[in-house]
Amino acid sequence: MALLCHKTPSQSKENLLWNNPARLDIGTPMQNTSRLMADPKTGELMEKIVSLCKRRGFIFQSSEVYGGLNGFWDYGPLGAELKRNIKERWWRSMTQLRDDVVGLDASIIMHPRIWEASGHTSTFSDLMVDCLLTKKRFRADQVDPQTGTAYFFTGATDAAAAKESRDPFSVLVPRGKPPESARKIAKQFYQQRGLENPSLLGERAEPVENSTRYNPENGSLLTEPRPFNLMLKTYVGPVESADNVSYLRPETAQAIFVQFKNVLEVSRQRVPFGICQVGKAFRNEINPRNFTFRSREFEQMELEFFIRPDEVVQKLTGSVAALSDSQPPTLDPQPGWGWELWHKYWVEQRIQWYESIGLGRDTLVEYWQKKEELAHYAKATVDILYKFPFGTQELEGIAARGDFDLTQHQKFSGKSMEYFDEEAKAKYVPHVIEPSAGVDRLALALICNAYCEDEAPDEKGKMESRVVMKFHPRIAPIKVAVFPLLKNKPELVKKAREVRELLRPHLTVFYDEAGAIGRRYRRQDEAGTPFGVTIDFETLGEQGPALKDTVTLRDRDSMKQERVKLGDLVPLLTEKLR
């Protein structure tokens, strides 16, 4: 019986533990205003999940011994296995199980012109404002509107020191608050400008309604909004000059576009076909938060699926099949499909994939972006959102990008990105559907989804609470644990080690002989290991020949145990994990 699991999150007091900005960071925690966001106050459940992640070695703070670095995370032994499983599953489903998608593994640093062509140099930014007093930085769209009386000052003088400042400044105070509080803030501002004992000049008061020009924390005026580019800059080569500036890629997608022609040539694919890639991406996020959800270094799994423009489909088949409400949930690609149906197809494929690794449809939300929310390149975008304990938030975006990217690279590089379609006898720049998922966000979703507290009997049959990570066996970090019933019986230990060697070529195995068997089960429950194999005296044949070379196989979730022949173990377990 589940007492607490992610599906029934408790959201009590604000948990700052996992939102705390570490030192060495320009970012500060702010309100999360993402659409469909539930109560941003996170609670007990997330605190427990974060603590388990550290205790069991899923996720550690990067550079922890130096106080950490905000927005960067390290994956421990279990987390590393979980991430590998996610990436391998994705790669297999995208490429090895399909005829129409091939892979790419491109460099992280690429020619800087790529980011000009893609629009990242000019548009990949957030508008930021700084507090003129504390220098604290806010995202302009996240400043809460303030109402009150604004006090304006034209400058200040310090007669004794014969100094003056002509910098204008203003402070907003709530209605009814004395002007003295505004003057106090203003004096601090001029003191920072070298006036030890400032006398304020040109004071004027004005009522202000719903203004976002003031710092809600102290009333100080903010700077004008300025764009802050999210790309992380570096220099290529020994000289740190403007000519050598390059960027750590903010997405893996652009490498696919710029290698489109090379891959097309060598893979002998025909449109419609796709190129996919898994790899690191970097964004200098202003506000990394919600544990690993918004990080500055993360991994993406992206597919660019190239399709015929609708005009070509029309020419070839005489009509273009478009989206209708009566579309069945499983779609089979057809030559007459236009971009809308390909888009819907990939949304459905991706949801089915999430289901296959244990994220049920009821944990996901299919969010169709409104026109005004679309990125500059997108005709339509569907976000697949997951119901995290801290709110319903994006796991993956599936965008219909038209021919924007290939056309841009054609323009900026001067190299043709056109494709000659033998069947349609037409030359065109293919259009693109892009399912783009984050590995780290998915790992976090799977961890949240798996977390459960229930009750299990201890050695003496007394019920005690247990934490169990109910990962789908396909993505569980360790698939099977092998235990000799007792550590001090050499025959049991020898046999258990033989069983470990039997399983090892086929599955990720963990061998544990330390402590009481119940404790060992609990440890594996917390690690999310779906199966446990115990070697006991029956295995050795001490209870008669019928049970010789049989083991108990324990199911993590039901805690039921069955007796299985050693010879059946590998086929039985591999079947359960397929």
Q: Strand 480-484 and strand 531-535: pairing?
A: parallel
Residues 6+ apart with CB under 8 A from 119: 376, 377, 408
Is residue 302 close enough to count as binding ligand GAP by CB under 6 A? yes
- Cβ atoms of 185 and 220 within 8 Å: the answer is yes
The minimum distance between CB 506 and ligand GAP, in angstroms, equals 32
Q: Which of 394, 403, 512, 538 binds ligand GAP (CB under 6 A)?
A: 394
**Closest to 72 in 3D by CA, of 440, 451, 443, 394:** 440
Q: Is 300 in the site for ligand GAP (CB under 6 A)?
A: yes
**Which listed residue (294, 387, 554, 556) binds ligand GAP by CB under 6 A?**
294
Q: How far apart are CA 508 and CA 88, in angstroms?
A: 14
Q: Measured from the CB atom, is 340 or 394 closer to ligand GAP?
A: 394
**Which residue lies nearer to ligand GAP by CB, 296 or 470?**
296
Count of C-beta atoms within a 10 Å radius of residue 108: 15
Q: Does 285 bind ligand GAP (CB under 6 A)?
A: yes
Expressed in percent and rounded to 5, the helix, strand and coil fractions of the chain are 30, 30, 40
- Minimum CB separation of residue 216 from ligand GAP in Å reads 25
CA 113 remoteness from chain centre = 27
Q: CA angle, 415 as apex, 410 and 419 as ends, to 5°?
A: 75
**Position closest to ligand GAP via CB:** 438
What is the C-alpha to C-alpha distance for residues 101 and 147, in angstroms, rounded to an integer? 55
* Choice from 6, 56, 283, 308 touching ligand GAP (CB under 6 A): 283
405 binds ligand GAP (CB under 6 A): no
- CA distances from residue 553 to 329, 348, 490, 515, 531 in whole angstroms, order as listed: 37, 36, 21, 19, 7
CB under 8 Å to 261, separation ≥6 — which residues?
Answer: 415, 416, 417
- Binding to ligand GAP (CB under 6 A): which residues in 110-139? none
Cβ 439 to ligand GAP shortest distance, Å = 8
* Smallest gap from residue 354 Cβ to ligand GAP (A): 12
* C-alpha count within 13 angstroms, C-beta hemisphere, residue 135: 2
* Contact positions with ligand GAP (CB under 6 A) in 439-458: 440-441
Question: What tokens appear for 315 in the block?
Answer: 């020419």
Q: Please name the residue that has the structure tokens 């004027």.
A: 204
User: In angstroms, rounded to a whole number, what is the distance separating the alpha carbons of residues 295 and 444?
Assistant: 12
295 binds ligand GAP (CB under 6 A): yes
Pick 340 or 434: Cβ nearer ligand GAP: 434
Nearer to ligand GAP, 251 or 454 (CB): 251
Cα dihedral: 260, 441, 359, 338 (round 10): -30
Contact between 401 and ligand GAP per CB under 6 A: no
Q: Which is nearer to ligand GAP, 79 or 148 (CB)?
A: 79
Name which position in 140, 171, 395, 577 contacts ligand GAP (CB under 6 A): 395
Residues in the interface with ligand GAP (CB under 6 A) total 19
**Residue located via tokens 């020009």:** 213
| Beta carbon nearer to ligand GAP, 312 or 433 | 433
Residue placing its CB nearer to ligand GAP in the complex, 431 or 520 = 431
The rounded distance, in Å, linking the Cα atoms of 279 and 257 is 15
Site string for ligand GAP, 200-239 (x = CB under 6 A): ----------------------------------------
- How many residues belong to the chain? 578
Does 249 help bind ligand GAP (rule: CB under 6 A)?
A: no
**Per rule CB under 6 A, is residue 78 in the interface with ligand GAP?**
no
Nearest residue (CB) to ligand GAP, 398 versus 452: 398
Among 81, 158, 164, 396, binds ligand GAP (CB under 6 A): 396
User: By the criterion CB under 6 A, which residues form the site for ligand GAP?
Assistant: 251, 253, 283, 285, 294-295, 298, 300, 302, 394-397, 434, 436-438, 440-441
